[in-house]
Amino acid sequence: MTSTVIYISNCQLTDKVSADWHIDFLIERSVAVEYWDIVALVREQHAERDAQNPDWLRRLRSFAEVESLLRRPDYRRALYVMLLTYGGKATRIFRLLSKYDCRMVSFASGMLPSDPAFTWRKIIAWLATPDRLLREIIGRFRASALRKLNLVRPFAVTFAAGNVALRTPHHSLRVVPINFFDYDRYVKLQASATPRILRDRYAVFLDINLPYHSDLTLTGYRHIDAAEYFRSMGRFFGLLEQAHGLRIVIAAHPRASYDPGVFGGRRLLRLHTAELVRDAEFVLSHTSTAMSYAVLFAKPIIFIYTRGMAEAYEHWFVRQIRCFADYLGAPNYNVDEIDDPGQVCVRPLSSSDYQRYKYDFLTSHASERTPTEEIVWRELTSQ
């Protein structure tokens, strides 16, 4: 077993990050863990709800600071779990770790259905902005060249969740099947006797903190008008509540910090998404990896967006929504075009489509009967 496991991430450390990436699990087994927050090096700084500040957290603010740590013999013997995508500004981090012959581990997890036309639209958008196109070309060429010249070493292990991730080429010595963390939570919940959180009938909306999401700035997209967004969503929820004799409950995004009045004052619950989906009549979503719970619990799912989203994100986010809906054979609606709840179809979806999604993105026949934390533990103890 390696003496120290160091996580390097472009996200701040939160309770959810600790749970999702098995940090809590390793600490419980007396593994020396550090978390290197490199947000300042690769993206704009932002506040994060429930951010943690343990003594094993390091916030690194320069590449020189990273290299200074890597020069130390004890850090060069550590195992590095890379919670960031190779490419762009992050390429330099991978290059530094390779320079000091550090062992790296990656996760190919949380993949989603893709639309080939989206790639072409991104290229067209870059052509309209020559400076951005040039940066993209240079960045991708540099990242590819560093690997081909062996200046960025392969990962020791890549943990891949689902058949799509397993089929994807990886710059790695070994690829090991695991489960997406939502699948592991689903299995645990199925095996438990956890009672319902809410007694009344309800449907659940999978919130993604859209008007305030920090990734919008990172990807260069503008923020939509928050008041207009919440007004549109609240009106639509009201139509469904009257038609189906239930209430809409919001499974709030872990990063969200909402005022109680948003979504028309409807109940907001954080960090209980699996339980909420399990007992819901149906599920509403924009796009979210949490839609995996609707698949696993075999719930009807409806994809929705607003007029403001269509105007701002027609060739990006809204296209993704339609792609996910098409993949699952699910309906999708612009909520601002709905005046009569009879226009909205709530129906069970194809079990074959759900099974396909399960094995494409959430698990595999090789891993579905073993908790991911046990697979990760087995691999790390062999390093």
Q: What is the CATH number of the domain that holds 227?
A: 3.40.50.2000
- Separation CA 340–CA 301 (nearest Å): 19
* Predicted local distance difference test score (pLDDT) of residue 30: 94
Please indicate, yes or no, if residue 376 is contained in any of the structural domains.
yes
- Separation CA 353–CA 17 (nearest Å): 30
Give the three-state DSSP class for 330: coil
Based on the domain organization, do 232 and 322 belong to the same domain?
A: yes
* Predicted local distance difference test score (pLDDT) of residue 221: 62
Based on the domain organization, do 80 and 171 belong to the same domain?
A: yes
* Predicted local distance difference test score (pLDDT) of residue 135: 63
CA distances from 140 to 90, 121, 137, 147, 215 (A): 12, 18, 5, 11, 20
Q: Which of 205, 298, 192 is nearest to 256 (CA)?
A: 205
Based on the domain organization, do 232 and 341 belong to the same domain?
A: yes
* Predicted local distance difference test score (pLDDT) of residue 69: 96
Please indicate, yes or no, if residue 356 is contained in any of the structural domains.
yes
* Predicted local distance difference test score (pLDDT) of residue 138: 67
Based on the domain organization, do 216 and 169 belong to the same domain?
A: no
* Predicted local distance difference test score (pLDDT) of residue 9: 96
Structural domain of 205:
186-361
Based on the domain organization, do 80 and 98 belong to the same domain?
A: yes
Based on the domain organization, do 238 and 368 belong to the same domain?
A: no
Based on the domain organization, do 90 and 234 belong to the same domain?
A: no
Please indicate, yes or no, if residue 134 is contained in any of the structural domains.
no
* Predicted local distance difference test score (pLDDT) of residue 256: 85
Based on the domain organization, do 271 and 194 belong to the same domain?
A: yes
The two structure tokens encoding residue 107:
């996760």
Across 249-273, b (16+ Cβ under 10 Å) vs e yields bbbbbbbbebeeebbbebebbbebb
Give the three-state DSSP class for 249: strand
Please indicate, yes or no, if residue 128 is contained in any of the structural domains.
no
Please indicate, yes or no, if residue 132 is contained in any of the structural domains.
no
How many structural domains comprise the chain? 2
Please indicate, yes or no, if residue 125 is contained in any of the structural domains.
no
Taking phi first (over 0 means left), then psi (-120 to 50 degrees means alpha), and beta for anything else, what does residue 162 get? Answer: left
Please indicate, yes or no, if residue 259 is contained in any of the structural domains.
yes
Residue 311 contacts by C-beta under 8 Å, 6 or more apart in sequence? none
Based on the domain organization, do 169 and 75 belong to the same domain?
A: yes
Which parts of the chain sit beneath pLDDT 50? none
* Predicted local distance difference test score (pLDDT) of residue 180: 98
CA distances from 51 to 18, 40, 122, 254, 353 (A): 10, 15, 33, 11, 37
Based on the domain organization, do 354 and 368 belong to the same domain?
A: no
Please indicate, yes or no, if residue 145 is contained in any of the structural domains.
no
Based on the domain organization, do 19 and 92 belong to the same domain?
A: yes
Based on the domain organization, do 240 and 357 belong to the same domain?
A: yes
The two structure tokens encoding residue 103:
């062992």
